[in-house]
Amino acid sequence: MPDIEFRVRGALIATEAIRACGWRYDPPYDVYDGDESPEYFLDPANRYAAIVTQTGDFAGYLCVGEEARVPPGNYDPGEPEVLDLGAGMRPDLAGRGLGRAFLGAAIEFCLTRHQPAVLRVTVASFNGRSRQLHRSLGFVDGDEFTSRGGLDFVIATLSVDGQGLAAGLAAERR
């Protein structure tokens, strides 16, 4: 059980957006360095939400829908029951075994709020930590592609069994 618990609080506030824009990761994870503007994170159309610790400290964010996709991945627009999910964890928390609790909070939020039949994530192919985490949660690798920036990605999906997955993740976090 991790020493930190996470929950989704809601939309990012300005100070959180500014902090996320300044995040810097060690190589090879530096491809995730914050290069967006705070306004981008704060724009409701981009659908970002804050993930916080049990004490309310900003720990990262999630985004859903089109914002969680990486062009030119093969995303069928005719799949309204599919919800794309993206997440970013604060650099000082990454690599500490907190991913399952962090992503679990994001997944639980998505299942409760959006009730998709399928969750879909797009993960950089080199990111073994993230790929292993997604597989451990039941995601199955699918299409692979190269982004316009030349980075390889894999699209993974998780079929959702109603609220059973959300309840299981909530119980696991207790």
Q: What is the percentage of the chain residues whose pLDDT exceeds 90?
A: 84
Looking at residue 117, the DSSP 8-state letter turns out to be: S
What does the mean pLDDT of the chain come to? 91
How does residue 2 score in pLDDT terms, banded at 50, 70 and 90?
low
Q: What is the percentage of the chain residues whose pLDDT exceeds 70?
A: 91
Residue 111 is assigned to a structural domain of this protein: yes
Residue 161 is assigned to a structural domain of this protein: yes
Residue 1 is assigned to a structural domain of this protein: no
Summarize pLDDT for 58-73 with one digit per residue, the tens: 999 999 999 999 999 9
pLDDT score of 136 more than 80 = yes
Residue 38 is assigned to a structural domain of this protein: yes
Residue 39 is assigned to a structural domain of this protein: yes
CATH of the domain at 144: 3.40.630.30
pLDDT score of 170 more than 70 = no
Q: How many domains does the chain have?
A: 1
172 or 153: whose pLDDT is higher?
153
pLDDT score of 1 more than 50 = no
Query: Scanning the structure block, which residue is given the tokens 């059980």?
Result: 1
Residues 6+ apart with CB under 8 A from 104: 6, 137, 169, 172, 173
Query: Per the structure block, which two tokens stand in for 28?
Result: 């090879």
**Nearest-CA neighbor of 153 among 132, 126, 115, 119?**
126
Q: Report how far residue 149's alpha carbon sits from residue 130's, in angstroms, rounded to the nearest whole number.
A: 20
Determine the 3-state secondary structure of 158 from DSSP.
strand
Looking at residue 78, its pLDDT comes to: 74
Domain that holds residue 27: 6-173
